[in-house]
Amino acid sequence: MSDDKTKVGKSDRERVAGNEPYEVEVLVKKFDLPAPLVRKVIEQEGPMRRDVEKYLEKMKKR
């Protein structure tokens, strides 16, 4: 399901849509990790940006 661009706000920024290439790309650039890995983390950790970024930060430090 595509992200509804008319419904943006705090709740939209709190979530990551793993099926939206531009949202995955933001995390790929931020953490310098490959897109397939970022998608897998989103699937594993759920859509909450806070949880996904926390996990990706731990991965980057390894």
Does residue 1 have a pLDDT over 50?
Answer: no
User: Domain for residue 4, yes or no?
Assistant: no
Note whether 29 and 23 are within 8 A (CB): no
At residue 53, the pLDDT reads 96
Domain of 23 in residue numbering reads as 10-61
CB atoms within 10 A of CB 52: 22
Task: Please write the tens of the pLDDT for every residue from 2-61.
Answer: 556 676 666 778 999 999 999 999 999 999 999 999 999 999 999 999 999 999 999 888
1 found inside a domain: no
- Domain total of the chain: 1
Position 47 in a domain: yes
DSSP code, position 9:
S
Helices assigned H by DSSP within 1-62:
10-13, 21-31, 35-45, 49-61
DSSP 18: T
Residue 43 lies in a domain: yes
Residue 14 domain-assigned (yes or no): yes
